[in-house]
Amino acid sequence: MLSTPRRGGLTGRFLVLVGSVAAMVLAAVPAQAADIPGTDQIVMSPNVQHVANVAKPAAIAATINTDIAFQGDYAYVGNYGGFSIYNIKNPKKTSAVSSVVCPGSQMDLSVYGDLLFASVDSSRSDDSCNSTAKPASDKASWEGIRIFDVSDKANPRYIKSVETNCGSHTHTLVPDKRRGNVYLYVSSYRPDATFPDCQPPHDKISIVKVPLGDPASASVVATPVVFPDGGNETQPNLLLPTSGCHDITAYAEKGIAVGACMGDGVLFDIRDPENPKVTARVTDPNFSFWHSATFNNAGTKVIFTDELGGGGLATCTPATAANNGADAIYDIVNGQFVFKSYFKIPRVQSDAENCVSHNGSLIPVKGRDIMVQAWYQGGASIWDFTDSAHPTEIGYFERGPAAEGSGGFWSAYYYNGYVYASDFNRGFDVIKINDERTDPAKGVHVDRLNVQTQGSYRDRGHGDWIWSAED
């Protein structure tokens, strides 16, 4: 989702803050659809079951939920006011374990070992969790990456911050287990000549290196230029001209990554994680804002999403064409993108519902390309793109118009047999699909899932798939 203009920070000034962050331990009772206030308009396909809903913890109830990461029996849900940790060992009894109050949009999250990384893309008075909003034109403002120790789920500890140019709208974790590091590819955009640390053209990404043995020494090690010849600036229907990337998905095992970069789609070679190389680019006259991307398991296809209207408009109405605010499916042929088709949810939404393609993940079914995806107030859609030219929806879940106006699912991801979705206002939802086309995925279990860091599902024989961790 696009945030309002804001920027600031001092590149090269890497602050360390060691200490405990106040966490509130909360219990929550899962609710069925009929028990959730304001959800009497829920509709779902016959093969989808609503398992649980947990309201946002009180400490961050006033701010919206964002992205999700998973590790073991826990889900980590970002929020403009901080983040929450949920115990999902028994999905039907999902409960909040703690909530960290640490404001700063967007709080896009990833986890690795005992570390949690969070993106801050709004200018703050300093890097602490007690910071306040500050004009981006102020040289003393801060934005970038926060690093927490989450070994104690009830009491996460803030250990480090790293400032990055133009902040961190999103980030992508790229593991380098052989060298004992993880890298964070930081995506940011929207430069402004009045912002000291976000000067035009800002045609780059920032790469943060985190030594796992000494995370407090994390720092920016590279700022590679993605668009040396300039990005897409002339396409008439662009929401914003290309000035950086919104999101990057890495498939480190295959040495590739794909970037959704405002007006462009980009393929990278990341075999040298500190020196990614652009190997292919593509534009699409029907796209307004290249938002996110997902590889299929084989790494031979990419789903790009178009966040038409920045996520705040009703673009799933008859007034908006089916190929606008949709997904675009590309095959990768000889290292280049080959367009195959568009996919958009077939259910018409009202003019009161912000709806557009947003974050999703693969459902690991051997021999098929299936994913679940959030569409804001369009809900969660499960769809099959095995035939790139003829994608088909096979299940869905959605609520009626949000009382707050804007709302819906920011992210919807598949993890160990269930779909987990973060709703702007309604909290954390657990959904299940029971369908012969997706049932084989129930036998695949993973121990960590950062969706923008893909790992492969491999055949171990006997017709079974196992997870190969992204590292």
Q: What is the pTM of this model?
A: 0.92
Average pLDDT, the chain: 91
CA dist 329 to 125, 224, 256, 261, 365, Å?
42, 27, 17, 16, 18
For 185-239, how does the pLDDT look when each residue is reduced to its tens digit (9 = 90+)? 999 999 999 999 999 999 999 999 999 999 999 999 999 999 999 999 999 999 9
**What's the confidence (pLDDT) of residue 464?**
60
For 131-183, how does the pLDDT look when each residue is reduced to its tens digit (9 = 90+)? 999 999 999 999 999 999 999 999 999 999 999 999 999 999 999 988 899 99
**What's the confidence (pLDDT) of residue 178?**
87
For 369-401, how does the pLDDT look when each residue is reduced to its tens digit (9 = 90+)? 999 999 999 999 999 999 999 999 999 999 999
Helix (H, G, I), strand (E, B) or coil at 451: coil
Question: Which one, of 214, 209, 152, 216, lies nearest residue 182 by Cα?
Answer: 209
Helix (H, G, I), strand (E, B) or coil at 162: strand
Task: Count CB-CB contacts under 10 A for residue 455.
Answer: 21
User: Does pLDDT of 357 surpass 70?
Assistant: yes
Mean pLDDT of all residues in 118-140: 95
**What's the confidence (pLDDT) of residue 462?**
56
Question: How does DSSP assign 361-384, residue by residue?
Answer: EEE--TT--EEEEE-BTT-EEEEE
Task: Count CB-CB contacts under 10 A for residue 436.
Answer: 8
CA dist., res. 308 & res. 345, Å (int): 14
User: Does pLDDT of 31 surpass 90?
Assistant: no
Mean pLDDT of all residues in 435-458: 94
User: Does pLDDT of 21 surpass 90?
Assistant: no
- At residue 125, φ and ψ (nearest 5 deg) are -65, -30
Question: Do 391 and 343 touch, CB atoms closer than 8 A?
Answer: yes
Mean pLDDT of all residues in 339-344: 98
- In the chain the domains, ranked by start, together with CATH numbers, are 19-467 (2.130.10.10)
Helix (H, G, I), strand (E, B) or coil at 194: coil
| AA identity, residue 323 | N
Mean pLDDT of all residues in 273-281: 98
CA dist., res. 11 & res. 163, Å (int): 6
CA dist 431 to 49, 70, 375, 412, Å?
6, 16, 15, 9
Is the bond preceding 5 in cis, omega lying within 30 degrees of 0? no
**What's the confidence (pLDDT) of residue 471?**
56
**What's the confidence (pLDDT) of residue 5?**
39
Query: What's the gap between Cα 40 and its chain centre?
Result: 28
Adjacent-strand bridge partners of 465: 459
Question: Do 289 and 240 touch, CB atoms closer than 8 A?
Answer: yes
Helix (H, G, I), strand (E, B) or coil at 256: strand
Spell out a b/e string for 46-71, using b for 16 or more CB atoms within 10 Å of the CB, else e. Answer: ebbbbbbbbbbbebbeebbbbbbbbb
User: Does pLDDT of 461 surpass 90?
Assistant: no
- At residue 253, φ and ψ (nearest 5 deg) are -55, -35
Q: Is the C-alpha dihedral spanning 161, 166, 171, 176 positive or negative? A: negative
